[in-house]
Chain A
Amino acid sequence: MMYDYFNNLVTGIESTLVAHPEKKSHRKAYALEIARLGRRLYTEDERIAWCGVLAPFDVLNAMSVTSCFVEFVGAMLASTGMVPDFLQEAETRGFAPDTCGYHRAVMGATYKDLMPKPDFCIATSAPCAGGMGVMENIARHFNKKLYVLNIPQEATEESVRYLADQYQEMTDFVTQHTGRPLDREKLREAVTLSNEATAIMEEAYRLAQHVPSPANGKDLANFGVVMALLLGTPAAVEVARAYRDAFAARIERGEAGVPGEKVRLLWIQNRVQFKNEILDLLETENQAAIVCDELNAITWDPIDPDDPFPGIARRAISIPLNGTVKRRVKNLQKMALEHKIHGAVNPCHWGCRQGTGARGMVAEGLKQVGVPVLNLEVDCVDTRNYAPGQIRTRLEAFIEMLTA
């Protein structure tokens, strides 16, 4: 069923682009690559690894492993409107309804046989302990081996070496399950492609800082997080280039991502993954444009292709949801100032350390640079906990406050 779904998606987009080349766009390029990844995940002869969010996907791509973080499935089920049955399945099996919706959805999908069987699993100790638990459950469910990457919280010389050594060990683990040894030249090419893609993404984000911004909430939704899955492949470079060129062209034409942009917003952490009216309300009704997302940030330096593991380790350690909240706040402040942000929206994803545990410090930190924060209380995946009227009132009041 899922193979057919993704295959239809891929062929649909491809045939549209052949029949109507004028419809080619950065967002279509992105959607096509996601659909292709989804199709590979459900293809019989692929080597599959279910992973934690901070797995080194470029390394896995270099080893010809189709890999994906499990939260991707939660987001996908939410976006297709199928999620309630899977959440209910997880809850029936004992998962508390107020734990993370991404993880409940993934576990429900596992129990209902929707998840493709992996060859092995790679968990990451960051960004969340809940994710670790899910990985362990999935490995147990499929009776597959689990490798755990312990991600240090700070980038000291020792901690970088510690994580880099784990990557080496991880590649041995992958080889044991695929029979394919790590090809250093392929890894070198993959890392070079990662560097190229991230450099172009940075260019796109710099263009998004323009006033009015060529970016909008739809462009940026989930972009950086999903791009991590494509790193190490030419597809990542192509999608990043499509974004950069689209933003540059909009600026050239004098077009804004949100026509009549009045307010510039920063979105903190996850987007709400199911169908909702938030973007319409903000951008169409109120010309309040989301011009940057916290999770899109490039927080690492280019990686040395000849000695990639230390650089990849620094990348994993540097992401905003790892380490202290203080470091996360510093990154948010930088983004807010660079993008000339008027206000920030934090969905405060339920049952999430990053979503709710840090919200006071995040709000205080952004206030220090003159950026008020609206805290919503939303499970970004569980449609059953969503109250559109309450969300509308909060968002409208926030816009009224920013424009008063």
Chain B
Amino acid sequence: MYYLGLDLGSLSCDAVLIDADANIMATSVVPTGAKNREAIARAQREVLELSGVAETDVAATVSTGYGRERVEKKIATVTEITCHGRGMEAMLPGTRVLIDIGGQDSKAIFLDGKGRVLDFAMNDKCAAGTGRFLEAMARALQVDIEELANLDQGAVSNLTLSSMCTVFAESEVVSLIAEGKEVNEIVAGLNRSIASRTLSMVRRVCPDLTGMALAMSGGVAHNQGVVRALSAALGVPVQVPEKPDTVGALGAALIARDRNGK
């Protein structure tokens, strides 16, 4: 039998299918878009096709993410905090501090080293420093979001952005461009802003990072510039698993397996 985890986020819908021994059979990441039920169906269809597993062989589905209630035929909904903790333990065992930066929120999760959540902190009502923030900045810089990942290379000036409000930061970026600042300096400044904001959440859940294994999940973890800035700000290397945007869905699939009596 197989177990499906679905993570319906604001930017992407992620699916992970595992077998009874918790081996990953297939993963899928599709844009959520305006019609999230279609995104759910597509992600689900993709993992079944990629793995060659029939839908009837899926014993249980658990959903997570902000749209978790929208998923049909689920045995449970579980928050992304719990699912990311569980998923990261499977991907990078022994992780104690997990930073998850998704499309509209960011979190610091303190784990017991076995995937269980001991404490967590989330961003407040503001989407600064999340995927949406980076999208807006990429737009201001007129680059693709993927390109942002390495555009900080070679920056030396330690430029900082004074505003973390997405709207104000976007206009600040436009002003910096007009002033003739190099793109790599601006991008490095953006990355430091995100790191600084995330740092306070991490310190809130784990004031002393000595000896702690840190890892990052969520779509923003694909951005190596942000990961570098975070590692520098925290003074500890931040590990990123192979598919950071599927950590939550994997956690959901593992919980589906647990709850189905395996």
Contact = CB atoms under 8 A, between A and B. Distances in A.
State whether these chains interact: yes
Interface of A: 360, 372, 375, 377, 385, 387, 389-390, 393-394, 396-397, 400-401, 404
Nearest to B120: A397
B118 to A, nearest CB: 7
A404 B122 contact: no
Nearest to B65: A393
B175 interface: no
B168 interface: no
A401 B117 contact: yes
B79 A400 contact: yes
A390 B105 contact: yes
Contact of A404 (B105, B117, B125): B117
19 contacts: A360-B204, A372-B118, A385-B125, A387-B125, A389-B66, A390-B105, A393-B81, A394-B122, A396-B79, A397-B80, A397-B120, A400-B79, A400-B117, A401-B82, A401-B117, A401-B119, A404-B82, A404-B116, A404-B117
B121 to A, nearest CB: 8
B18 interface: no
A377 B204 CA distance: 15
Contact of B125 (A360, A377, A396, A400): A377
Nearest to B117: A401
A396 B77 CA distance: 10
B124 interface: yes
Tell me the interface secondary structure of chain A in the complex.
helix
A393 B79 contact: yes
Contacts of B125: 377, 385, 387, 390
Interface string B110-150: 00000011111110110000000000000000000000000
* Interface class of chain B by DSSP: mixed
B7 to A, nearest CB: 13
Contacts of A404: 82, 116-117
Nearest to B119: A372
A393 B117 contact: no
A397 B100 CA distance: 14
Q: Which residue, of A360, A394, A396, A397, has the highest number of chain B Cβ atoms within 10 A?
A: A397
Interface in B75-119: 78-82, 105, 116-119
A400 B82 contact: yes
The interface centre, meaning the residue of A377, A393, A394 with most chain B CB atoms within 10 A of its CB, is: A393
Contact of A400 (B78, B119, B204): B78
Interface of B: 66, 78-82, 105, 116-122, 124-125, 204
- Please give me the 6 A-B residue pairs with the lowest Cβ-Cβ distance, nearest first: A397-B81, A397-B79, A377-B124, A400-B82, A401-B117, A396-B79
A385 B66 CA distance: 18
A401 B80 contact: no
Contacts of B121: 375
- Residue among B78, B80, B124 with max Cβ neighbours from chain A (10 Å): B124
A97 B80 CA distance: 31
Contacts of A387: 125
Contacts of B105: 390
A372 B205 CA distance: 11
A376 to B, nearest CB: 9
A383 B81 CA distance: 26
A377 B121 CA distance: 11
A194 to B, nearest CB: 40
A352 to B, nearest CB: 15
Nearest to B10: A389
B119 A393 contact: no
Nearest to B79: A397
A389 to B, nearest CB: 6
Contacts of A397: 79-82, 117, 120
Contacts of A396: 79
A387 B122 CA distance: 13
A350 to B, nearest CB: 10
B207 to A, nearest CB: 10
Nearest to A372: B119
A387 B124 CA distance: 10
Contacts of B124: 377
Contacts of A390: 105, 122, 125
A354 B81 CA distance: 28
A375 B201 CA distance: 12
A401 B124 CA distance: 20
Nearest to A385: B125
Q: Name the residue among B79, B82, B121, B122 with the largest chain A CB count within 10 angstroms.
A: B79
A402 B204 CA distance: 18
Nearest to B204: A360
A264 B118 CA distance: 17
Nearest to B115: A404
A401 B112 CA distance: 11
Nearest to A394: B122
A401 B109 CA distance: 11
A20 to B, nearest CB: 38
B113 to A, nearest CB: 14
A389 B120 CA distance: 17
Nearest to A359: B204
Contact of B80 (A360, A372, A377, A393): A393
Nearest to A373: B119
Contacts of A385: 125
A360 B204 CA distance: 8
Contacts of A389: 66
A385 B82 CA distance: 26
Nearest to B118: A401
Given A397-B117, A401-B119, 8 more contacts: A385-B125, A390-B105, A390-B122, A393-B81, A400-B117, A401-B81, A401-B118, A401-B120
A404 B117 CA distance: 8
A198 to B, nearest CB: 36
A375 B108 CA distance: 13
A397 B125 CA distance: 17
A404 B119 CA distance: 12
